[in-house]
Structure 1
Amino acid sequence: MITNTELEYKGNLYPDQIVDFKKDSDKFYFTTQNGVILEITVIRNSTIRFRYATDHVMEPDFSYAISPDAPRGYKDLKAEETDTEYLISTAKVKVLVDKKSMRVQISDLEGNIINEDELGFHYEENYTYGGNSVKMSKITQSGESFYGMGDKATHFNLKGKRVHNWVTDQYAFGKDQDPLYKAVPFYIGLHQNKAYGLFFDNTFKTHFDFAHERRNVTSFWAEGGEMNYYFFYGPDMSRVVRSYTDLTGTPELPPLWALGYHQSKWSYFPESRVKQIASKFRKLKIPCDAIYLDIDYMDGFRCFTWDKTKFPDPKKMISELNEDGFKTVVMIDPGIKIDRDYWVYQEAIKNDYFCKRGDGPLMSGKVWPGQCNFPDYTNPEVREWWAGLYKELMSEVGAHAVWNDMNEPAVMEVPTKTAPLDTRHDFDGHPCSHRKAHNIYGMQMVRATYEGVKKYVYPKRPFVITRAGYSGTQRFASTWTGDNVATWEHLWIANVQVQRMCVSGMSFVGTDIGGFAEQPNGELFARWIQLGIFHPFCRVHSSGDHGDQEPWSFDKEVTNIVRKFIELRYQLLPYLYTSFYRYYKESIPMIKPLVYHDQEDQQTHFRTDEFIFGEQILVCPVQEPNAKGRRMYIPRGTWYDYWTNETVEGGSEKWVDADIDKIPIFIKEGAIIPKYPVQQYVGELKIEELQLDVYYKNGIENSMIYEDAQDGYDYTKGEFSLRNFKLTGKENELILQQFKDGNFITTYETFKLNLMGLPFKIKSIQLDNESIALKDVKMNGSNTIHVTKEFTTLHIIGK
């Protein structure tokens, strides 16, 4: 085991000899001679919490990140003591604590070291603010790679990088610029084909060094608060991501329209312009489900008001848009204009809901309305009031969803871009300064918004979007990556950021398609749409100061390409919705980087461009101009080219043709991909038949289709349809078995099966052990058949 060093080094203090040990149910306490306490909590067999305190004092235990529904429980737990160490064993891992230095080593049951302290926990008194800066250093294993950390705009593998968490309004950010809008202090380590995760649940400004300063050391530290981290063991990366996501939570299912295509701009006004945009979508037959109203819909940028000149009758407008299939999404910011005649301001002043500075005066800062005060969303009473403010907007005016922006909080014309650090917060009864509350301010704002929207759109489901976030924010809102730029480099960044967010627990994510700042040309816009339709949140948004950015804003060729790909998204909605169901139910990310998909393949560890959409669709965007195709890595296995149905063997790089109207899309062999007919908006058509694209495989593959009423809460009471398919392919036969669950009755009665890649001609078909004439399944050529949705086993025999 590692040996002790000096107790003080470069001003840092270290734990010394352990002098006391006690066990209390799932908790173990170790106390050193110099007053450091280590509390180890076994959450699950492979999830262990480490919490350190100094001066013999454990602070009250509180976290905004941890889901109240996080699963707990373990199978085996035992503790042993030797002359030199304590050993805690679960059914999955062993935790060794060195008696001399309190350093920790975590191994699997075979004794392979997974994670090991270098200097381990150390700390330094913060003379400016009081308390400690807390630090942890770990040994970087040979060949170790690092992933995660939220929205970092850098290479997907973080090895050799140093990053920081301090949510920041970073307009037109660049590649490698840091920090950005999210603080997600969670990373995944991978070495010797064993993955683990580490979540540093500390809301102060945090820093992570992934073998940047010293190539054999990974460290993380915070400028205040506790050294409090959770360790997750895989060994599969998928298990690590799921354990972290289980801990911090998943959202409920959104209404299906929230997964459609959305159109936004800063800003669409007046009402006639909004209706003109809506009308053009329908005229050009480009599917769209939502139109966004940015801050210009308000009266002088005052939240919860309307500019009656631009929007004389918002209720009527929203109702008319809804009749044409458009949901209306409105923006709400945190800054409340200082205006004694403004009712929201009056209520907040009367009830003392605004944040105050350290010496007492209200914290104020300039945002769009001018000087503003800011509600303290860390106060439960303020959150309840804020939720209630949505009543008129949602229940009476009829808005469908809310978009919280500027909630870092962003403050203009100050060097820090945010609230002063001495701003005070309630922190749910644990009063603190903005140093501690800054990273969760936006999260608590959108939490309050979510509660209000959920209450006032009931019995429909809420849809809320946030720009700022901390770990766990995914329980309340979807998100996007902030104010990007219309450049090819930003198309690359968008792809990496969304993959990174998905393995960081936040799958309901997208980017401003086409770029927020500056103007894309038609080719860049088309290529961005081709990527964006595969992101869980799909929205075009632009700053509006450089012209329009609608699907028809370029030439006819671009408009047709954009329509083609938006139509593809609408066809794939049941597939995407099923992926969301698995995210909600099983904490499985909706987009999977190649290393997540196949960590055993070393080639995937540094791949950035390719990703798996859902479970079985491989996508690789084209990210440079004038391209007629690109080289890409095809993961191991057999894949079908979506456009040609030709098969390709993976495990190597290949050139793939992809002119401006295509991007490389491949389907895993054996997959069953459900498709709806193209609709102009969700719910426009009654689905008469579900198309299933069946990709032959010589072997076995499982697929799933989840459906429900597409809105409302009946799905929580068993009103859903879950179909699990098992495909078994042999040389001269194909067997499809269906296992059904749930009480929801779909509108369609039949499946249309498109059989791809059959190596034989169909001779006969058996449906649930009964031979049926080929004419009775409406054979269409040799590869399309129509069958009842109720079948249990479909047996196709070849000749």
Structure 2
Amino acid sequence: MVKQVPSDRRIDCLPKPGADKATCLFHKCIWDDGHYSDTTVPACYLPPDTGYIIVQKSNVSLKLQKSRDGALNPYDTDITEIGVQITNSHSLLNVRIGVEGRYEPMVPLPRACRTSEQHFVTEIPNVSELFILRIRRMTTGQLIWDTSIGGLLFADQYIQIATFLPTDKIYGFGEHVHQNLKHKFTKYATWPMFARDQPPDPENPYRNLYGVHPFYLGLEKDNNAHGVLIWNSNPQEITTGPGPHLIYRTIGGILDVTFFPGPKPEQVIQQYLEYIGRPFLPPYFALGFQFCRYGFKSLVEMKETIERIQNASIPIDVAYADIDYMERYKDFTIGKEHWSDFKRYADELHKNGMHLVLIFDPAVQNVSFIEWENYDQVQHEIQNKYPLTKGTKIMLSVVWPDWHVAFPDFLDPEPLTTEWWIEEFKLFHQMLPFDGIWIDMNEPAAFGTNEYHPFYFDDPERPARIMPLKCPLSGTASKYDNPSYETWNSYAYNFAEAHLSNKTVCMSGMTNRGTQRIYNTKNLYGLAETIATQKAQHAATGKRGVVISRLMIYSLTVFICNTRCSKAVIELYSSEKSTFVSSGHYGGHWLGDNSARWIDLRVSIIGIQEFNLFGIPYIGADICGFNGETSEELCLRWQQLGAFYPFSRNHNEKGKTSQDPSRWPDVAKATKEANLFRYYYLPYLYSLLFDVSLHGGTVVRPVFFEFTSDPETHDLGEQFMWGSAIMILPVYQEGATSVSGYLPSTIWYSLREFDYGALVKPGHSKFRAPKDELIPVFVKGGVVIPRQQPNMTTTLSRNNPFELLITVGKKFNFIKFCS
């Protein structure tokens, strides 16, 4: 008789939409005809004896054989024999499950270990028993992982492992729009992870966005914390269940899981960043306020906007140019008609102590490209249009330029692509002396893939209806573009027409000079471009910089290409759009093409905290919202919040009303006050970024990181800290003149001008927050914070005297410098 599994402890046998009883029973799974009020409960689920049997065992390795009991793999044929390797090095525990020779991400991680007194131990059954992995904290005996829930499957294109969790206080996984800082385990929820050029939408949270971060932090019942990294770059997903339990699925590679012992939350992140690479240190000017606009019609309009902001006495450091400055959206070009005087304006900005950041999307010649595997896959009706691609296997697609583009192979094992990239930046910097690099579309993104009538067919500005990229979705060549299970990275969209290649290039495409498939490496593309861009920035400017990235593309018609915004930063600085594990070592990130809505403002507060967990502390959202028309009140409140983003930039889309803060007198006043406060405390913010570049850790910090023993702090997603000392409570509701928040039990002082230095009672409170005052900001007692009298730019501010803010704590003799 089949043993039933309670509804809160199930592993879905058929996670693909449309499960039915016949298919369920065919795969030896259990069908439940019960009707639950919770529609997320799997009706078809795996029996708990599904998995592998131990056939050989030593202290550090095991050989497993597929069990004849349990269910069949629903989407592929399980590999009969797999191996397990367990490495307990210093305080880190690593578990690898799979077969030698399978793909693993080709990313050079330090894999260093930060010393800790905490350790993990493993418990594994005897030979001939079902493989179960239990991981315990040695000092307390607390179970961290317990795979006795069953469900281990390992096929070429369907791999799964599941575990009970010791807590429902789980934070991380990305990139998504999470409505709460702490994951909710009351229902089943699936979070796909696969880099996609997808604007964040809080009303559709279960969608994969620009980056991939399979890392989480868990807070145990005794308030010890641990971290878990699942090292895989293939399409993947996490399902959380009420057990509480977690199910991880991927359709390629192996299972490579590393455990970090903490035990404090900040120590977990320090250990994690020691392993993957500590964050880069942005230049000081990159901490100033920044302004961008997609849709400037000319350099004159851009100059007038920046001057308006300056005339309102709003501190500002960086002016951005989106793709408008290019000649027909081609990289490394300057528009001849409306932007010809750009170099003179750049010189003027520099003379006034300001800086210039440009967007780039590449196009290449004589380097490696993303290619088709075989000549018979090439779309000759596209390829033959261009003399330089005729007879090649270069994969062509569509982005911003008028004609087809090719995608540089930034994963090229030879240095030629990076060397070309560096040389182009060096030459262009001589034409236009920029200070930062903004890279976009590096998921990589492409327009109209697999579509018969892509949106750009209706664009009157395009000179021709060029055909989109078509990927092999049927036949023997469709293994990678139409696998049996595409994960919810596809199913979260239009199920009938969704594919992994939608909005990007074909999964069957080849990178690494023809040795690896996009199916394996797509999630690494943005990271690889960011690394190349950081090198280019250093070579072009000779300065430490910042790179902010999302993606890059290349036009073969003129060997230059342009794309839109990416999420990485270069001092120069660069900012990246598409990120992966370790991206923070090379650049910063912005949270994507958000919308001018109150809910977008609120979830950005959670987003900046999550990316600090991921090791990307130079993080921010488009202030006032990118898509749609903002309102005066929303923009005012967002400027007040944005003054506390490490990456503080106002940016909006083409065709919408300008939302520069000088547009409304009240917004200008509020922005001036907020920015002056930010500039006053920039030495402290910079010291935090400096500290994490040396030792790892967080800059924007969840409150529970500092007050872990207080359960009231464990899900305070709408407030956050700068380091260990300053607490920020943003206003995120329309029409509010106060904000509810929680101050943990310690001494707090107000930093707002109207009640500066006043003692503030800890606990749950409602704090006044009229629009004409700074949002509530408090400082903890017993700390020393550096600050500096502000000016209109960081360049001018640096001429002013420094100050030390010293706050009295419970013990007058206990004062420390805050980090």
TM-score range, shorter chain: 0.7 to 0.9
Alpha carbons of structure 1 residues 389 and 538: separation in structure 2 relative to 1, 3 Å: same
Q: CA RMSD in A?
A: 2.6
Equivalenced residue count is: 656
Going from structure 1 to structure 2, the CA distance change for 1:248 and 1:121 (only over 3 Å counts) comes to farther
1:582-612 deviation per Cα after TM superposition (whole angstroms, max 9, x unaligned)? 2111111111112222222111222211111
Q: What CA deviation, in whole Å up to 9, does each residue of 1:279-302 have, x standing for no partner?
A: 333332211111111011111111
Aligned residue in 1 for 2:88: 42
Q: Tell me the amino acid that sits aligned with residue 635 of structure 2.
A: F
Determine whether 1:515 maps to 2:625: yes
Between the aligned partners of 2:113 and 2:621, the Cα distance in structure 1 is 34
Tell me the residue number matched to 2:770.
Answer: 659
Report whether the alignment pairs 1:183 with 2:225.
no
Tell me which of 552, 562, 567 is aligned to 2:676. 567
Q: Work out the CA distance in 1 between the residues paired with 2:517 and 2:809.
A: 59
Match of 1:21 among 58, 69, 89: 58
Q: Which amino acid aligns with 2:84?
A: L
Report the Cα distance in structure 2 between the residues aligned to 1:542 and 1:466, rounded to whole angstroms. 17
Asked if the contact 2:443–2:523 (Cα under 8 Å) also holds between the matched residues in 1, the reply is yes
Counting only pairs closer than 5 Å after superposition, residues 164-243 of structure 1 correspond to structure 2 as: 164-171=192-199, 173-175=201-203, 176-192=205-221, 193-211=223-241, 214-243=242-271
- Corresponding residue for residue 97 of structure 1: 124
Q: Distance between the aligned counterparts of 1:685 and 1:546, measured in 2?
A: 33
- Find the partner of 1:316 among 344, 347, 352: 344
Matched, 1:267 2:295: yes
CA distance in structure 2 between the aligned counterparts of 1:705 and 1:156, rounded to whole angstroms: 24
Whether the aligned pair in 1 keeps the contact of 2:200 and 2:209 (CA below 8 Å) is no
Q: Secondary structure at the match of 1:98?
A: coil
Aligned to 1:553: 663
Give the Cα separation in 2 of the matches to 1:448 and 1:275. 31
Q: CA deviation at 1:317?
A: 2.2
In 1, Cα distance between equivalents of 2:701 and 2:322: 32
Residue 174 (structure 2) aligns with: 150
Partner of 1:674: 786
Indicate conservation of the 8 Å contact 2:326/2:333, yes or no: yes
Please give the alpha-carbon distance, in whole angstroms, between the structure 1 residues aligned to 2:787 and 2:323: 37
Give, as a single letter, the amino acid of the residue that structure 2 aligns with 1:44. H
* In structure 2, C-alpha distance between the alignment counterparts of 1:493 and 1:299, rounded to whole Å: 36
- Does the CA contact (< 8 Å) of 2:673 and 2:774 recur in 1? no
Unaligned runs of 5+ in 2: 6-26, 30-45, 66-79, 379-392, 452-500, 546-570
Q: Indicate the residue corresponding to 1:797 in structure 2.
A: none
What SS does structure 1 have at the residue aligned with 2:739?
strand
Q: Is the 8 A contact 1:328 1:400 kept in 2?
A: yes
CA apart distance, 1:275: 2.2
Q: Does 1:426 align with 2:502?
A: no
Residues 739-769 of structure 1, C-alpha deviations (whole Å, 9 max, x = no match):
xxxxxxxxxxxxxxxxxxxxxxxxxxxxxxx
Cα shift at 1:558:
1.9
Quote how far apart the aligned CAs of 1:323 are.
0.8
Measure how far apart 1:225 and its partner are.
1.0
Write the distance in 1 (CA, Å) between the matches of 2:533 and 2:120. Answer: 40
Secondary structure of the corresponding residue to residue 683 of structure 2: helix
Is the CA contact (8 Å cut-off) linking 2:278 and 2:693 kept in structure 1? yes
Shift of 1:18: 3.6
Q: Residues of 2 paired with 1:408 and 1:331: CA distance?
A: 16
* Aligned twin of 2:448: 413
The one-letter amino acid paired with 1:291 is: A
5 Å-filtered alignment, 1:434-583, equals 434-461=518-545, 462=571, 463-554=573-664, 556-583=665-692
Indicate which of 363, 366, 376 corresponds to 2:398: 366
Which whole-Å deviations, capped at 9, do the CAs of 1:617-676 have from their partners, x for residues lacking one? 0001011122111211112212112222221332x3111111112311111012222221
Deviation of the 1:29 alpha carbon: 2.3
Please state whether the residue corresponding to 1:291 is helix, strand or coil.
strand
Shift of 1:306: 1.2
For the residues of structure 2 that align with 1:428 and 1:61, how far apart are their CA atoms? Answer: 17
Deviates more, 1:355-364 or 1:403-412: 355-364
Q: Deviations over 1:71-107 (max 9, x none)?
A: 24879xxxxxxxxxxxxxx962212222333322111
Residues 116 and 20 (structure 1), Cα distance of their counterparts in 2 relative to 1, 3 Å cut:
closer
Letter in 1 for 2:371: C
Partner of 1:53: 98
The question of whether the paired residues in 1 share the 8 Å contact of 2:105 and 2:521 is answered with no
The higher-RCO structure (CA 8 Å, 6+ apart) is 2
Aligned equivalents of 1:318, 1:638: Cα separation in 2: 47
| SS at 1:311 equivalent | coil
CA distance in structure 2 between the aligned counterparts of 1:135 and 1:583, rounded to whole angstroms: 34
1:699-710 matches, cutoff 5 A = 699=811, 700-704=813-817
Question: Matched residues in 2 for 1:352 and 1:594: separation?
Answer: 46
| Deviation, structure 1 residue 137 | 0.5
* Mapped partners of 1:328, 1:538: distance in 2: 15
Contact 1:167 1:468 in 2 (8 A): yes
Distance in 2 between residues matched to 1:218 and 1:294, nearest whole Å: 41
Alpha-carbon distance in 2 for matches of 1:260, 1:683: 10
State the 1:42 CA deviation.
2.8
Structure 1 gaps, min length 5: 23-27, 76-89, 126-130, 337-343, 707-799
Equivalent residue, structure 1, for 2:153: 123
Amino acid at match of 1:205: P
* Residue type of the alignment partner of 1:111: G
Query: 1:285 maps to what in 2?
Result: 313
Matches of 1:475 and 1:171 in 2, distance apart? 24
Q: Is contact 1:387-1:450 (8 Å) kept?
A: no
CA distance in 2, matches of 1:496, 1:241: 17
AA aligned opposite 1:93: F
- Give percent identity, aligned residues only: 23
CA distance in 2, matches of 1:386, 1:285: 39
Aligned residue among 319, 329, 332 for 1:301 = 329
Distance in 2 between the 1:477 and 1:120 partners? Answer: 40
Give the TM-score, by structure 2 length. 0.76
Q: Secondary structure at the match of 1:451?
A: helix
Q: Structure 1 residues 425 and 229, CA, compared in 2 at 3 Å: closer, same or farther? A: farther
User: Any idea what the Cα deviations from partners look like across 1:462-497, whole Å, max 9, x if unmatched?
Assistant: 310111111111111111000101111111011111
Q: Is the 8 A contact 2:118 2:262 kept in 1?
A: no
Q: Say if 2:134 and 2:145, in contact at 8 Å, map to a contact too.
A: yes
1:588 to 690, 697, 702: 697
Specify which of 281, 290, 314 is matched with residue 253 of structure 1: 281
> Which stretch shifts more, 109-118 or 505-514?
109-118
Describe the shift of the 1:550–1:144 C-alpha distance in structure 2 as closer, same or farther (beyond 3 A): same
CA contact (8 A) 1:114 1:194 kept: no
SS in structure 1 at match of 2:697: coil
Structure 2: distance between partners of 1:454 and 1:608: 37
Q: For 2:372 and 2:132, how far apart are their aligned partners in 1? A: 41
Pick from 174, 184, 191 the counterpart of residue 159 of structure 1: 184
Q: Where in structure 2 are the equivalents of 1:123-142 lying within 5 Å?
A: 123-125=153-155, 131-141=156-166
CA distance in 2, matches of 1:598, 1:18: 46
> Closer, same or farther in 2 for the Cα pair 1:73/1:607, shift >3 Å?
closer
Contact (CA 8 Å) 2:359, 2:437: kept in 1 or not? yes
SS at match of 2:53: coil
Q: SS at the partner of 1:287? A: coil
Compare the two structures and name the one with the higher strand fraction: 1
Change (3 A) 1:664 1:459: closer
After TM superposition, give the deviation of residue 535 of structure 1 in Å: 1.1
Distance 1:510 1:691, change over 3 A: same
AA aligned opposite 1:528: W
Rounded Cα–Cα distance in structure 2 between residues aligned with 1:536 and 1:332 = 22
Q: Is residue 114–residue 270 contact of structure 2 (8 Å, CA) maintained in 1? A: no
Match of 2:478 in 1: none
Q: How far apart are the structure 1 equivalents of 2:118 and 2:278?
A: 26
Contact 1:379 1:425 in 2 (8 A): no
TM-score (norm 1): 0.78
Shift of 1:412: 1.5
